[in-house]
Amino acid sequence: MIESINAIEVFNSRGEKTIKVIIKTEKGEFFSIAPSGASKSSLEPVSLSTSKSLAIFKKIKSEIEGKEEKEIDRILEKIGGKRFEKIGGALAIAISQAVYKSIIHSELFDKTYFPIPLSNVLGGGAHGGYTDIQEFLVFPKKAKSIKEAVETNIEILKELKNYIKKTYGYLGKNDEGAIIAKLDNFKALEIVSEISENFKACIGIDVAATQFYKKGYYFFNGKKYRKNEFIDVIIDLAKTYKIKYIEDPFHEKDFSCFSELTKKLGKNVIICGDDLVSTNPKRVKLCIKKKACNGIIIKPNQVGLVSLALKSVEIAKTHNIIPVASHRSGETEDYFIAEFALFAQCPLLKCSVSGSERFAKWNRLIEIWEKSKKPKMVELKIL
């Protein structure tokens, strides 16, 4: 039962205002802080100012205190509006996550499989940088522990930074701690691919193609492509650089191109939908119907409630689609997404290996690994 609940205004890793919720139950005290994305889909919950959401919180506080934990998401859904426009997406997810921390707390140490770290090491697109591709990602092939897996990604990031610093000039890091360098898409892929191979790791890309799609064309690497032409571009990139994970390679409403790419590469590559699905159970079902992808990004704040995110995971797994739990670019010290990935048994956790707000997630998983009876890393057949 929720004995007490409070909400305050705090800051995320970008220095933006966000909401922290603290609850007290018979199990103890739990908190959660709402994260925020730079690249948002059109389906995400409505954002309200923190001051407005906190004023609303004072009015709804009494509807939450004294209720059982498992009732809270239903209450939030009822009072929040279709897209949480009545309370704001940040308040909704902060409450939901804090409550679910209480719900899942005792079960985490009984989970067997730990997620493979999928980390952004080189950035572009909406996150800042010179490439059209938003994220260049790495993940280890056969790490024996979560600590070893995270360390592999850390070493790749260090090696990449040293190489770029010597060869091209280091320009800093973006919101997610990924390196920014004056490279085009192809050179960036070449460098990340070569360094990752030395560490026995795979590479992936988050294309975030919605960002460079205009009036029926994809504007990529200085050229203009029709839809069918851009499918060939992505296929060529995957084969040339041995890419094993491709996220949002097309516009968020372009199911036909997703389906075509999945048909051609899906046996050996994870074709992952983020903006395409927006963690929405209805969109996941539509994705399945259209055979649009074999992986989906799961961001609880993208759908507003943890229960809805868990429903999307369940639907995906039932249809052999890989759920990929993910951080946001505007993160905090809250490690909820790490606990969520473990609880929901998501095979991959997308989170960088730079900045204390990211390491909070990895350190939490390392802590749980050390206390678990028979922990194992997930094995992906597609690798």
Strand 4-11: give its sheet, edge to edge.
Answer: 4-11, 17-25, 28-33
Identify the three-state secondary structure at position 209: helix
Same-domain check for residues 185 and 281: yes
Is there a catalytic annotation at residue 252? no
**Structural domain that includes position 39:** 2-105
Q: Give the count of beta carbons closer than 10 Å to the beta carbon of residue 346.
A: 24
In a domain, 293, yes or no: yes
Strand 217-220: give its sheet, edge to edge.
Answer: 213-214, 217-220, 223-225
Same-domain check for residues 187 and 313: yes
Report the length, in residues, of the chain.
383
Cβ proximity of 28 and 61 under 8 Å: no
Query: Which pLDDT does position 382 carry in this prediction?
Result: 81
In a domain, 382, yes or no: no
In a domain, 92, yes or no: yes
User: What are the structure tokens assigned to 34, written together?
Assistant: 């709402």
Residue where a domain terminates, one of 51, 82, 105: 105
Same-domain check for residues 120 and 37: no
Identify the CATH number of the domain in which residue 161 sits: 3.20.20.120
Same-domain check for residues 45 and 169: no
In a domain, 355, yes or no: yes
Same-domain check for residues 164 and 291: yes
| Active-site choice (44, 69, 135, 176) | 176
User: What are the structure tokens assigned to 59, written together?
Assistant: 């009015």
Query: Which pLDDT does position 151 carry in this prediction?
Result: 99
In a domain, 142, yes or no: yes
Same-domain check for residues 117 and 63: no
Query: Could you give the number of structural domains in the chain?
Result: 2
Identify the CATH number of the domain in which residue 87 sits: 3.30.390.10
Distance between CA 302 and CA 263 in Å, rounded?
Answer: 27
Same-domain check for residues 68 and 200: no
DSSP secondary structure code for residue 212 in this structure: G
Same-domain check for residues 91 and 211: no
Residue/partner pairs of 271-274 with CB below 8 Å, 24 or more apart: 271/246, 271/295, 272/245, 272/246, 272/247, 272/248, 272/296, 272/297, 272/322, 272/324, 273/247, 273/248, 273/297, 274/41, 274/206, 274/208, 274/247, 274/248, 274/299, 274/326
Query: Which pLDDT does position 135 carry in this prediction?
Result: 96
Query: Which pLDDT does position 127 carry in this prediction?
Result: 63
Query: Which pLDDT does position 346 carry in this prediction?
Result: 98
pTM check: above 0.75:
yes
Return the closest-CA partner of residue 299 out of 106, 129, 134, 89.
89
Same-domain check for residues 119 and 199: yes
Residue where a domain terminates, one of 105, 125, 147: 105
Residue where a domain terminates, one of 73, 88, 105: 105
Cβ proximity of 38 and 330 under 8 Å: yes
Same-domain check for residues 71 and 186: no
Query: Which pLDDT does position 170 carry in this prediction?
Result: 79
Same-domain check for residues 101 and 119: no
Is there a catalytic annotation at residue 299? yes
Angle CA 199–344–84, to nearest 5: 115
| Active-site choice (299, 331, 350, 361) | 299
Largest CA distance in the chain: 60
Q: Is the dihedral of CA 319, 321, 322, 326 positive or negative?
A: negative
In a domain, 383, yes or no: no
Q: pLDDT tens track of the chain, all 383 residues?
A: 999 999 999 999 999 999 999 999 999 999 999 999 876 777 899 999 999 999 999 999 999 999 999 999 999 999 999 999 999 999 999 999 999 999 999 899 999 999 999 999 999 886 667 899 999 999 999 999 999 999 999 999 999 999 999 999 878 999 899 999 999 999 999 999 999 999 999 999 999 999 999 999 999 999 999 999 999 999 999 999 999 999 999 999 999 999 999 999 999 999 999 999 999 999 999 999 999 999 999 999 999 999 999 999 999 999 999 999 999 999 999 999 999 999 999 999 999 999 999 999 999 999 999 999 999 999 998 87
Same-domain check for residues 147 and 86: no
